[in-house]
Amino acid sequence: MKFYAPFKYSTTFVLGLTLNFIQHAQTFGPNNSATHTNSTSVGTFSWSNPNFVASSDNQHASVTNKGLTNYLSATNFGFSLPVTTSITGIQLDIEKSTLSPTVVTTLNGWTAGLTKTISPGSNRMLLLIYSGENGTLRDITGLTYGGQSMTQIVEGGIVTSFAAKMEYWVLLESGIAAASNTSFVPNFAAGAVSADVVNFYASAVYAGVDQMLPFTSTQIFTTSATATTLAVSPTLATTGGGMVVSAIHCGNNTTPNRTPGGTNTYSVSAGFTEVLDTYTANPTATASGICTQISQQSITAAGTVAPSYTFAGTPNRQIVIYTNLTCIRELDNSVRLVKGGLETGSNLAYTVFPWNTVDTYTSYGSSSNLWGTTWSVAEINASNFGAVLSASVSNGTARVDHMRITVTGISTLPVELIHFYGKEQGKHILLEWQTASEKQNKQFVIERMSSLGVFSEIGTRKGKGNSLVINSYEFLDDAPLAGVNYYRIRQEDFDGHYDYSKIISIHRGEETIFTVYPNPSSDGNFNLVSDQIIHEGVYIYSSDMKLIKRVEGNNSPALEISITELADGVYFLLFNTGSEQKIKKVEKFCR
């Protein structure tokens, strides 16, 4: 018997009584498949061991050939949804990975200047780094290589007595192949150019770079501190098989001074390999200019890195830009559901996000996504219901460890609980409730919230089993808490299923006055003000009364509360004043 009913209502008549009906949300699964095969309706290459996707056990269906795969088909998921269920959403989870992909490698090493000869290769990426100083920040607005427009991926600057600037520009395989010559042509934004402006350009070409997502993360660090050793932050997220490229710029010469083109201006931390290190002189004063060092690190497994540097002198303006280049990996080609034995509905494949190098679940669809079609209970329960996946294999081996499906639906069930309320009775609190009908009802468990915000059992009442007449129940709490008491009823079926009633509150004694503002909040920040000291802090609950976090008290009647990290929605704040417990509903709706 289910009686907690915050959803949609309809009405019917049974034995002369008006009963309410609800649409009760239910989740079925996740279920595993029992039938697996290759479907040749798409792609060229078949999956080995398709039956290995039945469970998450590090055994994989796999494809090594480069190109589009057949559909990896998983059906017979063993659902048995009630016939009264209306399907609202289907979520497919696929655990997949790339095995032994080719890593990012250096095809043509780092050289200074505005020309670059590029060797033949595949999945190439041309990277140019600009390092410069001027009286004001000087910005490159466009850059071409061989007539092909390059793309700026990051830039950083710092201004002290002079202005320093660093920029990263890239050109991918299609642009490299179309280039008509080997020259770079930069275009700068309009602005004053100092007589002692310094410009430095360096470039390299990498192979095995993912063309859809060539880099996954980039960080910028700037400082005007004069410390010789520089620890860079924050850390940079890396990907297995990738390459981290880090460049540092200093607007000063070393001690003793390097001649133009001189090396060893910087040393870099272990793990990084220096690939270029040079001093570029100021045209009006050769003892002043910029030091630029570029280093890189091949990444074996995903993690984080942050370089550190030691300057061979006293620095002034310093910029560090460090980025993670990603290796070419497998992509989704098509992900669809199977209805009546046929692929159907929308293709929800993530065609631009490469597969990870470790087994990772990717979710397709959701509890409110029907994949562009409609579903009956019979179609979900059928043995030929399932899902298919086709991949685009470019590097390494595409592997699938597990495919599972979760179905969400709404079942129409009678609302048996028609009243639940309480009242003071001397020093006690009397709880009363009524049911209009009961199905397999074993008992009611009465629960009260403690001062710590946790519901616990304080008594039971035996149910009527099956009934179509009105039944009345009551329970006397002979030891209620001071202040506000919160109660709920847990109804238990004979088969072990249970559900909760709504939560009701009954106040005893003198009431604490308090307020929470702003409510609703547009940013998740609230102020709680009470006429009593707030003891034990404030407990924050979700709309279904699950404890999410606790905010420490400050031994005062006022407290700032922040839930900026939580999703928009309704929450409850619960706190104790020592003599009583208070609860307040708040709403967070960011615009």
- Average pLDDT, stretch 100-122? 93
4 in any annotated domain: no
| Residue that wins the pLDDT comparison between 504 and 56 | 56
Do residues 295 and 399 both lie within one domain? no
Q: What is d(CA 447, CA 461) in angstroms, rounded to the nearest whole number?
A: 12
| Res. 535 pLDDT band, cuts 50 70 90 | low
User: Do residue 272 and residue 155 come from a single domain?
Assistant: yes
Token digits of residue 445: 């468990």
Residues 185 and 273 in one domain: yes
Confidence of residue 570 (pLDDT cuts 50, 70, 90): confident
Q: Per the domain annotation, does 380 fall within a domain?
A: yes
Cβ atoms of residues 379 and 340 within 8 Å: yes
pLDDT for 348-388, tens place per residue? 999 878 888 889 999 999 999 999 999 999 999 999 999 99
Determine the pLDDT at residue 4. 39
Q: Which tokens belong to 487?
A: 């109660």
Whole-number pLDDT of residue 578: 58
CB 79 within 8 A of CB 29: yes
**Are 164 and 21 part of one and the same domain?**
no
Distance CA 111, CA 129 (A): 10
Domain that residue 314 falls in: 105-325
Q: Once rounded to an integer, what is the mean pLDDT over residues 476-491?
A: 87
| Average pLDDT, integer, range 405-411 | 88
Cα angle 197, 198, 200; round to 5: 150
Residue whose structure tokens are 């460890």 = 401
Compute the mean pLDDT over every residue in the chain, rounded to the nearest whole number.
Answer: 87
Nearest to 170 by CA among 190, 187, 148: 148
| pLDDT at position 483 | 76
Q: What's the confidence (pLDDT) of residue 207? A: 95
Q: Are residues 207 and 309 in the same domain?
A: yes
Asked whether residue 302 is assigned to any structural domain, the reply reads: yes
pLDDT value for 403 = 98
Residue 474: predicted pLDDT: 95
Instruction: Kindly tell me if the per-residue pLDDT of 548 is higher than 50.
Output: yes
Asked which of 388, 412, 436 is the last residue of a domain, the reply is 412
Look at residue 7 and tell me if it is in a domain.
no
Q: Which of 390, 412, 434 corresponds to the end of one domain?
A: 412
105-112 β-sheet, strand order:
105-112, 198-207, 125-134, 163-172, 151-159
- Taking the C-alpha atoms of residue 55 and residue 35, their distance in angstroms, rounded to an integer, is 12
Q: Identify the band that residue 527 occupies on the pLDDT scale cut at 50, 70 and 90.
A: confident
Residue 393 has pLDDT above 60, yes or no: yes
Instruction: Answer yes or no: is 3 within a domain.
Output: no
Residue 250 tokens read as 């200093």
- Kindly state whether residues 26 and 39 are assigned to the same domain: yes
CA 552, CA 535: separation in Å to the nearest integer? Answer: 9
Q: Are 239 and 357 in contact (CB under 8 A)?
A: yes
Question: Does 493 reside within a domain?
Answer: yes
Question: Do 187 and 315 fall into the same domain?
Answer: yes
Predicted local distance difference test score (pLDDT) of residue 384:
97
Asked if 343 and 356 sit in the same domain, the reply is: yes
How many structural domains compose the chain?
4
Q: What pLDDT score does 451 carry?
A: 67
More confident position, 534 or 38: 38
Is residue 10 pLDDT above 50, yes or no? Answer: no
Residue type (1 letter), 540: I
pLDDT at 454: 81
For residues 121 and 20, which has the higher predicted lDDT (pLDDT)?
Answer: 121
Can you give the pLDDT at residue 201? 98
Mean pLDDT of 183-204: 94
pLDDT digits (tens, 9 = 90+) for 516-525: 888 888 888 8
Residue 12: pLDDT over 50: no
Same domain, 241 and 303: yes
Structure confidence at residue 156 (pLDDT): 96
